[in-house]
Amino acid sequence: MTKITARDRAWGADRKGAGESPQLSFAAVTRTWGGPRAGAGRKPGVGRRNVPHAVRSTHWKTVPVHVTLRRAKGLPSLRSERLHEELREAVRDTRQVEGFRITHYTVQSDHVHMIVEAVDRTTLSAGLKSFAVRAARRLNTRVLGRRGSLWGDRHHRRELRSRRSVRNALVYVMSNHLKHHEWDAGLCDPCSSGPWFEGWMQDVPRPPEPSPVQDAETWLLRRGWHRDFFYIHLGELPLAVRPRAS
């Protein structure tokens, strides 16, 4: 039997079980910090999430790209006559970027859709940056009288690698105003490159001024999308808003 001294007694060693230290199993240990646990990490924000800052995928020059740019919050609708005119001229000015082409576009109240082509990933990024800067400079200085960013987030893009995906993207861009219930604009949206689009089933009067967009050079956008498929009908709804068959 171990003799308990006055010093041990002062530290409480004379109490029952004072010298014992029972070993706990790993299952009995409750984690109080670190590691995966319920409720850990940044909480998700309210509303639409920003485009994640991930490495962009490799781009091939034979593949068109569907691009979306969203304006910053608190700004007026981009579909107003003055704002759309400046955006259209920014599209036209982007012709100066060698190896980059905007072939189709549509302007909605808070975002812009475009279908573009580029010879490589570097040129694609440079062309989109050129358009974003030109549009911001035109709108801020000529219409809005402000400084600061026009765009609220980095662009979102999706590679269109098949004929069907290209046709679906064309319908989505050409008829995007119908998706957002802009019925007063008519079936051919004036705030888009639709009046110059040559893939309509019907005859659409072509404006007298030159087209702001460039002719496509990839096979998918020139002829592949309507080979074995129909041209686009005025008023054809994007897949996202078509009524589902019961």
**What is the model's pLDDT at position 80?**
95
Strands 100-107 and 111-118: antiparallel
Is 235 within 8 Å of 187 (Cβ atoms)?
Answer: yes
Over 90: is that where the pLDDT of 51 sits?
no
Say if residues 69 and 155 touch (Cβ distance below 8 Å): yes
Domain assignments of the chain as residue spans, ordered by start: 65-240
Give the chain's mean pLDDT: 86
pLDDT single digits (tens) 76-90: 999 999 999 999 999
pLDDT of amino acid 131: 97
pLDDT score recorded for residue 171: 95
218 near 63, Cβ under 8 Å?
yes
Q: In whole angstroms, what is the distance from residue 246 CA to residue 15 CA?
A: 77
Asked whether residue 100 carries a pLDDT value surpassing 60, the answer given is yes
Q: For 65-240, CATH number?
A: 3.30.70.1290
Q: What is the pLDDT of residues 142-187, one digit of tens each?
A: 999 999 899 998 899 999 999 999 999 999 999 999 998 888 878 9
Q: How far apart are CA 203 and CA 129, in angstroms?
A: 35
- Look at residue 150 in the predicted model and tell me its pLDDT: 94
Amino acid identity, position 170: L
pLDDT digits (tens, 9 = 90+) for 181-200: 888 878 999 999 999 999 99
> Over 60: is that where the pLDDT of 10 sits?
yes
Q: Assess contact for 149 and 72: CB atoms under 8 A.
A: yes
**In terms of pLDDT, which residue wins out, 107 or 58?**
107
Q: How far apart are CA 114 and CA 174, in angstroms?
A: 10
Question: Which pairs from 127-131 meet CB under 8 Å and 24+ separation?
Answer: 127/94, 127/97, 127/99, 127/100, 127/101, 127/102, 128/67, 128/69, 128/155, 128/157, 130/94, 130/96, 130/97, 130/100, 131/90, 131/91, 131/94, 131/102
* pLDDT surpassing 80 at residue 140: yes
| Residue 99: pLDDT over 70 | yes
Q: Which two tokens stand for residue 225?
A: 């999308």
Measured CA distances, 211 to 121, 166, 186, 194, 226 (Å): 26, 21, 20, 10, 21
